[in-house]
């Protein structure tokens, strides 16, 4: 289904950009550059840790709210028909099997078959499906999709991704600043304070290192998809999970979820080059083959 990681990564990038710009505008970077070498390294490390993990956990904390807003999810608070009742009861049953609290259940308008799960707390998560998925899949297939998403929640994938992204953010911030300072000293011969080499070098390094960090995060997301497929098969049946993936495979390529949701959905298109490295989901054919080998 959708990639919850996509939305999370987009939110993380936005928060990190705001924190990074603020540190420059408020003079924190300049103050650190005035310290001795030991003070610079220690100060940079503390700043990188605070900004890196702060940006990640702010993104994680707002993930459910952001998903509801960006996807216009209608949460089912009181089921109005048999379809909604079945949807809520299926998620309730799977949540009990998985040992987690009952997630919020919602539906969003989209002709494409898709779904996602998100939330900072596995006992207060959100599972949402598209109208296109409900219309194009059988109940057994929808149950498998729900099992996949509930498995993401039970496996703690969002929190794990938050921790990983915090580490990646820390390295991006730390090394981009160090690279900027080295350029200042090697090219502009500035021993204390900051010059043009720092501003240009740190910004370019932050972009390049940010792309590398995204590649690592996406690779991790693809590994977690296989695990969610297996757990979903345990909740809803292996053949139902395979049938759901084949249904997605036969459908038109699902539209992408916003940033944060991409990694925790169920589907993903096959791309090439750098795009392939930035896929949040493995190709559906590979996921089907992995399940068939079980």
Catalytic residue annotation: 149
The answer to whether the beta carbons of residues 248 and 267 sit under 8 Å apart is: yes
Rounded-to-integer distance, Cα 61 and Cα 250, Å: 35
Tokens at 121, concatenated = 């707390």
The answer to whether the beta carbons of residues 30 and 44 sit under 8 Å apart is: no
Nearest to 174 by CA among 20, 36, 12, 10: 20
Tokens at 168, concatenated = 């990646």
Rounded-to-integer distance, Cα 146 and Cα 202, Å: 43
The answer to whether the beta carbons of residues 119 and 153 sit under 8 Å apart is: yes
Angle between helices 37-61 and 4-25 (to 10 degrees): 140
């Amino acid at each position: 289904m959708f990639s919850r990681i996509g939305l999370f990564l987009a939110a993380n990038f936005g928060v990190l950009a705001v924190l990074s710009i603020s540190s420059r505008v408020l003079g924190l970077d300049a103050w650190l550059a005035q310290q001795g070498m030991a003070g610079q390294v220690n100060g940079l490390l503390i700043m990188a840790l605070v900004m890196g993990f702060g940006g990640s956990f702010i993104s994680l904390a707002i993930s459910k709210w952001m998903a509801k807003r960006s996807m216009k999810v209608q949460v089912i608070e009181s089921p109005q028909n048999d379809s909604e009742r079945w949807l809520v009861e299926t998620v309730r049953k799977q949540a009990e099997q998985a040992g987690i609290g009952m997630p919020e259940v919602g539906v969003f308008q989209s002709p494409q078959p898709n779904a996602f799960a998100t939330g900072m707390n596995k006992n207060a998560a959100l599972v949402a499906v598209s109208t296109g998925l409900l219309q194009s899949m059988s109940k057994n297939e929808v149950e498998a999709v729900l099992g996949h998403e509930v498995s993401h929640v039970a496996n703690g994938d969002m929190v794990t991704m938050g921790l990983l992204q915090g580490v990646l953010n820390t390295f991006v911030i730390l090394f981009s600043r160090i690279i900027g300072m080295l350029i200042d000293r090697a090219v502009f011969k500035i021993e204390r304070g900051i010059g043009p080499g720092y501003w240009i070098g740190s910004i370019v390094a932050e972009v390049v290192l940010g792309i590398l960090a995204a590649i690592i995060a996406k690779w991790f997301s693809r590994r977690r998809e296989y695990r969610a497929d297996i757990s979903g098969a345990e909740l809803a049946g292996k053949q139902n999970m395979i049938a759901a993936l084949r249904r997605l495979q036969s459908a038109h390529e699902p539209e992408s979820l916003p940033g944060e949701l991409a990694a925790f959905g169920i589907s993903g298109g096959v791309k090439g080059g750098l795009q392939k490295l930035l896929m949040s989901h493995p190709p559906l054919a590979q996921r089907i083959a992995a399940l068939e080998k079980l």
